[in-house]
Structure formats: structure tokens, C-alpha cells
Structure 1
Amino acid sequence: MGESTTPAVGRSVFVRVPATSANLGPGFDSLGLALSAYDELTVTALPAGELEIEVTGSGADSIPRDGSHLIVRTIQHVFEAFGRTAPGLRLTAHNGVPHGRGLGSSAAAVAAGVLAAAGLLEGDVDLTDEDLLRMANDVEGHPDNVAPALFGGLTIAWIDETGPHHKKLLVHRGVSPVVFVPETTMSTTKARSVLGPEVPREDAVFNLSRSALLIAALTQSPDLLLAATEDKLHQNYRAASMPETDKLVRALRAAGFAAVVSGAGPSVLVLADGPGRRAEAARLVASISDTPWETLMLAVDFKGGTVRETPVGADRHDS
């Protein structure tokens, strides 16, 4: 570590972070998948105490433009955790991850903040992958979404006495995700509030078997995805709070598609075993639902979040 305690005014980094879908049916609070919709932002160090925030894209009208902004709070947390003084910040962001729809928008913001802080601190404090995950988990509270947002691919996340950990796996090339996004939103807090403190033992055993099978299906045998995405721990309990989502999941599964609630909902994720099958799923949704659903034909993001330094004054989000 060097002697510097704050980055030079004008130092700027560009960050790109993918959407994520957690749970994937049976893998409650442990499995997550990175998807190819992105938040992009440029963060520039300003003199201490200054703050400028510009946000476009999903949820822009409801996002605060002060120190309560999640990315700003995350950057400050990382600086404080490593004994550094956070600079003033100029944040220019475009949100490509749908907000409040179960696609990891808050995890994307937290991951973006951690990566931005790491970029601004580079050369003074060099954060490891373990540091990145620990900092993100500190803010987000659980690692199932932030792990794939940071590292990409399919991730298994867990916490022990030493902190959060993850294992990244490569997804079989035959897996073709499609997400159906409704106009309505659902807060994660509300979605969790309907879950009871206990589940029957047979339901726990059921989900253990399906979670193990899901790893095999996503990495080796996509033909097993329908059986592997069955769940008894959380989706049925949440059904009453998002009836249109539950109706769509049931209809898709009855037609043979591996459909699940994406994260806490209300979006629906289908893990098809090929591009042709996901196109069939999209046609089915269009034919059976009176509710408007935006169809996102996405790829699995294998790269995860990225950060790079940008030239001074290049305060634009480009890819």
C-alpha cells in the first residue's frame, strides 16, 4: 500500500455490471446466474464533500441524487473499510437492469460500487476477489446475487465463520435464458416477509435433490432442466403476492418449460435448452397472457462486472 489516502481529483473509472437471477427455482439464497443486461457507470473523484449524480434508464425517476444513493454508500463503505477517506464523487449511470423486477438491480448497484471503489483505490489498496465479495455482502446482506454480478456465470454462494464465499461454474452452451418482465414491481423485503421460519423436512429434502440436479443440468445436461428447477421452499409461499407471475410459471411448466420466479420476482425466468425452445416459450406467453410481459432474450454473462480507468474528462458510459 502506498501513502496516498484519497485518489487524485479527476481520476475516473468506467464500470459495467450484469443483471442476475437468484434462486433459479430450488437454489434458494445460494445459486445465482449472471445475465446479459447491464448497468454502466462512470465514477470520477471530485474534491471532498462534492457530489454529482446523473442517472438514466430503468428506475431513474425514483433513484435518489444524494448521499443515500446505493452506489455512493457502497463506495464510501469500501473506502472506510480500508481506512481511506472517500473523495467527492461524480456518478454518471445508465441502468439497463430492470429495477424491482427480480433481476438483481440492487446487487448490480452494490457490485458496481465495490468495483468503482476498487478502481479508484488501485495502486493504493488492491482488492482481491475475496475482498470484493466481502465488501458487497456487507452492504447487500447476502451473496447470492452479488457473486454472479461480480464474477459472472453460474455461482454457488455460501457464508461461514470467515465470511462469504463463492464458486463459479461454466454454464452449458445449450442453456438459453429468456426473461419475461411485467410492468409491476416487487420489493425483496416484501417477498421475504411471506416466508415462514420453518419448512417441512420432506420439502427441504426435495429441494436438496433438485439443487444438486440443477448444477448438473446447467453445466452438463440441459435436458434435465424442467425437473431440476422444481421448488418447494419459496415460490409457492410467494404465489399469492404475485398471482400473475405464479399463473405464468405454472402455464409454462405445464407446457414443458423450465420456468421459475426470477429472484424475489415478479419476473419469470425460463431456462430453455436451446434458442428454438425459448422462442417457443415467448410465443406461448404472448398467446396465453392478458398481462403485458416484456420479453428479454438474454445470454449467460460469463465475464461478470468489469472496471477500467478512463481518461480524465471522459465522463461518458461507453462499452
Structure 2
Amino acid sequence: MQATYATYFVYYVLISSGFVNAFEPISTTFVVGSGVGLAAVGRTIYNYVHDGCDSKLIAFNSKGLEVALDRKLFGQHVASRVIQKAVTGFMNNKNPKKPLVLSLHGWTGTGKNFVSQLIAENLYKEGMASSFVHKFVSTAHFPHLSQIEDYKSQLQQWIKGNVTNCPRSMFIFDGVDKMYPGLIDCLKPYLGYYENLDGVSYRQAIFIFLSNAGGEKITQVALDFWKVGRDREEIKLHDLEPALSLSVFNNKKSGLWHTSLIDKNLVDFFIPFLPLEYRHVLLCGLAEMSAKGLEPNQDVVDQMARDMVYFPKSENIFSIKGCKTISVRLDYYT
């Protein structure tokens, strides 16, 4: 009981000081929960009070990002180039006119989450564990349609609080295609060309949207190139981006359906992630073996890759799950 009273007292202090606005939705739940220990609460408070933005915690490594994308992300030449140039250009701009907004699209297992991780690792000392990186999963954080207005208010408070704490904050929204339409529009004020809103500037922040929406359009373009014998490396951003943004905007099942973020051109890039082929699954397998501390074995990875399911049925070109289940499947084959 003492711990419970103490926890509520700490929460009151946080509200009074304004730090509660910088908490993630799940963190806030833990703070007010009766089972939270004071030590854990104390660590959270300490981190948020003392994690000001400085070069010890934030230092962009452009070359590191370039090398990571080149060596660790397979089969995504379009995404790699766009992300490298977009992030580097934004970070080198001392006076950006708006936050960087990237919308990543493609089937599961193609590398969207992985790319977000690579950006974080080359921007923040603690990578994805940094208190400046904030990830929201639509099905976990915004599950109920009846609470959509509450979600909008909370999202705006969390974003304002965290950007106030650190202008170089990064926000990742996973599963935007599963969001309720209209929810994402609450971000509109923070993604525009305003110098500041209520004394807070959002121009140095990064917003990344991850979505499966548009996967059909991306796959069709890749398949069309394959059918006429053209190399997938010939695919350029302009072959996909206009149709991709239109497809997402008109998809009633997408959280970006008729969103003002697209209508007002607040998304800087719609980045396609191509479906992965057998050769890319092989590379993922070999890389995963190395990551596990195992000696890469071509025969083992080849067997695993051949046993995976590919589509379309008549051609069997693209991996249905991409590289998503590689780690677990290798445990079976090794």
C-alpha cells in the first residue's frame, strides 16, 4: 500500500513538472499502476529529467547508415537510396522548414521495421533503446474505435512533451494500415511548416510510418518488370511513388485513407519496399547465422530458403513472409 501511495505521489510530481507529457503510453500505465516499484519509477524520472539533447546522446553517423543499409538490408535498392539521402540531407540541414516524414510501404518481412532500427542506431547512442525514440504499435496502443478521440488527445500530448524534452525526437508508427481512419490526422499540426506551435518547434523531429498498405501495387510493378525480363534493380522511385501514394490515399482499409497528411503534401517520401526473392532470403539466412554466432552454412540456408512459400503460385518468385521468420526457422535447420 505504501508503494502505491508513493507511486501516485510521484505521478503528481510528474504532472506538476510537465514531465508526464514525455512518457510513452505504456510507460504512463506502468507509472500509475499499483504494482510498480519505486526504484523503477525513480529510474524513469531520472532518465527523463536528465536526458537532455546533447552530442553525447545524439550524433548522426551518415557513413554508418550508408554502410548498414548496403550490407544489412537486402533487395531494397530503392528504399536504401531514398532513406540514405533523405535522412542525411535532413540531418545536415541546420534549419529545416519542417520535420522529416517518411512513409514506408510493403509486405511483411521486407525490412521496414529493420530500417527504422538502422536509422535509430546511427542517430542515437542507445539506438532503439534511446528515450528519444518513441514507437507506437496501432493494434496495441490504439485498439478501440470508441476511444479514438482520447487517442488523438493523448498522442498530441506525448508528441509535444517529448519534442519539448528533445527536439531531435523520432516517432515510429507501426501498422498504420491497421489504424482507424482519421486518427493519424491529429499529427497534422506537428508535420507542417510552422516555425513553432505554442512555443515548441517540431522542425527537427523525424516521423516514420510503417504500413503494409500499397503492397499489392509494389508487387505488381516488380512482377511486371520480371515478366518482361527487366532487372528489378532498374526499378526507380518514380516508377512507384505516385501510384503508391494514390493507392494508399484511396484505400479505405488504410489508416492513411483520405488523410490530410497526404492531401496537404506533408509526407516527404512514400518509400516502397519490394517483395523479396529467393536470393534475398538466402542473404538474410547467411546474415542471421553470423548474427547468431554460427558459421554461415550455404547448404543449410539453401534448404531453409527452398522450403519457404513463394508467390504468385504460377511463378513462385516472391517470398510470402520475406525474411520475417528467418531467425526462428534457422533454429529448426541448424
TM over 0.5: no
Q: TM class, shorter-chain normalised?
A: under 0.3
| Higher normalized strand content (fraction of residues) | 1
**TM-score, normalising length: structure 2:** 0.25
**Bigger radius of gyration:** 2
Give the structure with the higher percent helix: 2
